């Protein structure tokens, strides 16, 4: 029996815009990966499965207990919880403490039950996860990767029948990602993975692709899916070329027929003028020629319409693999020192002193395990936090792009966001840039709050890189929410960028493709 089943499901936004339509599918395999472009509706699809959202049309049947990991952790960060409160064990730890202090009321023993070793057990497991062992440690001080590991650990321990993981490897360093792979492999229930991480997707038994045409299922891991998609792409390219040739041939044939008709008409006019043939005969020939020309024109129009409709259908398929462009401006300024850090220690993370110089042509990959202080260093450069010891000098403007897209104005349009931060750009330039990252026509007027995580990242990246005073870009895991094609395009754009940036990313391949010239380890 399927773990869940969707029957002819459609989902529309409140404004009436359709996200997807007529989707029917069943989850039978134990390991299934869902892929698709940013903004196509993968996260909403997962919420329909868990019944957090209801479909506009159709029915969803869920036949399993569910544990769900969502992309963002902002709500958890804002909740002001400790690790113990998040794990829902604070009441047990409080009862243990009261008993240890000599309070022997029965209610405390009832709360503890047989969990006398809970504190030491949790501390041991937290240590193995490279998390703080202090159960009263506030979640707000955890890095994005540490918080993700804590949430994932909680979900795996709960042992639901179905585990839905929405971009679980975002923010994870190499050891944490290895831990995640092992847990997915050993998990006894079903795993429904939403990800752009090809390493995780290659552990799946089946890949589902969500696109504007619906849902397509591929019977294998990501490598198999990619091979099949490549074959489909090549087939579509051949079809496009074939249709293009047919249109050119039809246009040439139409022109030849027009020229021949004009020649016959000229010959008939000459005969009529010379009087060499009877007028009745010439009129009959003219009527026949006019009728033939009308018939040819009608057939040509019908044929052109048929080929054009086929061309439009193939281009709709081609749109699924069309590469967008993230255009970054060039910087022609001479090399100068932008950041100088001497004998510094951070307020959080790695306690070892370090030195760092960044120049106007530097492309720095900032590396380190979760909790080492990478985001803290970026905030120090932004003057949002201070060094614990040491000196820092900043020579120029900086722009920080964080993991939560906090610079975006959520309740206004994409065009207004770009206009707010890039006042030197006119409306035409703004719309051209937005079209380059996939927001064409009316979609550029959508509110930011309705964008997916990947769409927000591409918009934010466009905004920070097109400000009037070209700043040093501080990029805190900008690749986390991007689909596979967009990640490759961003890496290529950063590689071609002549300005300076500091990149935090756990994806070594992405960093390498971005053209890194300098590595700094924390």
- Structural contact between residues 268 and 289, judged by C-beta atoms closer than 8 angstroms: yes
> Tokens 């019944």 belong to which residue?
51
Rg (C-alpha) for the chain, rounded Å, is 31
Q: What's the pLDDT tens digit per position in 392-433?
A: 998 888 888 876 778 899 888 999 999 988 888 888 989 988
Say which range, 155-159, 232-236, 291-295, 483-487, has the weakest mean pLDDT. 291-295
User: If you average pLDDT over residues 268-286, what whole number do you get?
Assistant: 58
Distance CA 167, CA 194 (A): 6
**pLDDT the model gives residue 401:** 81
Give the span between the Cα atoms of 432 and 294, in whole angstroms: 43
Question: Residues 266-287: what's their mean pLDDT?
Answer: 59
Average pLDDT in the 121-128 region? 91
Q: Which of 128, 121, 113 is nearest to 84 (CA)?
A: 121
Q: Where are the beta strands (DSSP E) in 424-517?
A: 472-476, 501-504
Q: What is the mean pLDDT of residues 376-401?
A: 88
Reported pTM:
0.65
């Amino acid at each position: 029996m399927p773990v869940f089943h969707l029957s002819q499901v459609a989902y529309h936004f409140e404004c009436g815009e359709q996200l997807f339509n007529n989707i029917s599918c069943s989850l039978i395999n134990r390991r299934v990966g869902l892929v698709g472009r940013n903004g196509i509706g993968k996260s909403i699809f997962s919420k329909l499965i868990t019944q957090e959202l209801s479909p506009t049309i159709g029915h969803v049947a869920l036949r399993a207990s569910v544990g769900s990991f969502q992309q963002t952790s902002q709500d958890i960060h804002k909740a002001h919880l400790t690790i113990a409160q998040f794990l829902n064990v604070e009441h047990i730890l409080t009862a243990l403490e009261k008993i240890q202090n000599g309070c022997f009321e029965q209610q405390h023993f009832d709360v503890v039950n047989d969990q006398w070793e809970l504190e030491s057990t949790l501390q041991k497991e937290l240590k193995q996860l490279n998390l703080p062992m202090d159960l009263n440690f506030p979640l707000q001080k955890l890095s994005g990767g540490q918080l993700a590991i804590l949430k994932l650990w909680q979900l795996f321990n709960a042992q639901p029948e179905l585990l839905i993981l929405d971009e679980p490897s975002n923010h994870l360093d190499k050891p944490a990602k290895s831990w995640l792979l092992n847990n997915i492999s050993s998990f006894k229930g079903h795993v429904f993975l939403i990800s752009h991480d090809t390493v995780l997707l290659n552990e799946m038994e089946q890949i589902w692709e969500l696109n504007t045409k619906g849902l397509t299922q591929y019977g294998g891991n990501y490598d198999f899916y990619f091979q099949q998609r490549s074959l489909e792409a090549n087939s579509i390219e051949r079809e496009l070329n074939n249709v293009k040739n047919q249109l050119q041939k039809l246009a040439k044939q139409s022109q030849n027929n027009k020229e021949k008709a004009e020649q016959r008409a000229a010959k008939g006019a000459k005969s009529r003028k010379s009087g060499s043939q009877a007028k009745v005969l010439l009129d009959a020939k003219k009527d026949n020629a006019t009728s033939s020309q009308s018939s040819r024109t009608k057939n040509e129009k019908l044929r052109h319409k048929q080929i054009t409709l086929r061309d439009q259908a193939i281009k709709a398929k081609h749109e699924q693999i069309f590469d967008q462009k993230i255009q970054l401006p060039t910087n022609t300024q001479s090399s100068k020192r932008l950041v100088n850090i001497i004998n510094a220690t951070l307020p959080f993370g790695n306690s070892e002193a370090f030195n760092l110089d960044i120049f106007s042509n530097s492309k720095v990959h900032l590396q380190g395990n979760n909790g080492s202080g990478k985001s803290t260093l970026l905030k120090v450069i932004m003057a949002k936090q201070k060094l614990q010891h040491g000196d820092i000098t900043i020579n120029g403007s900086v722009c920080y792009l964080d993991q939560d897209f906090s610079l975006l104005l959520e309740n206004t349009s994409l065009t207004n966001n770009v206009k707010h931060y890039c006042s030197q750009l006119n409306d035409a330039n703004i719309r051209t840039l937005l079209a380059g990252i996939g927001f064409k026509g009316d979609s550029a007027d959508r509110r930011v709050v309705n964008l997916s995580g990947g769409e927000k990242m591409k918009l934010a990246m466009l905004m920070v890189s097109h400000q009037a005073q070209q700043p040093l870009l501080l990029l805190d895991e900008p690749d986390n929410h991007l689909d596979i094609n967009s990640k490759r395009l961003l890496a290529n754009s950063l590689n071609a960028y002549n300005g300076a940036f500091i990149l935090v990313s756990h994806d070594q391949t992405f960093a390498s493709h971005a053209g890194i010239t300098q590595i700094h380890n924390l």
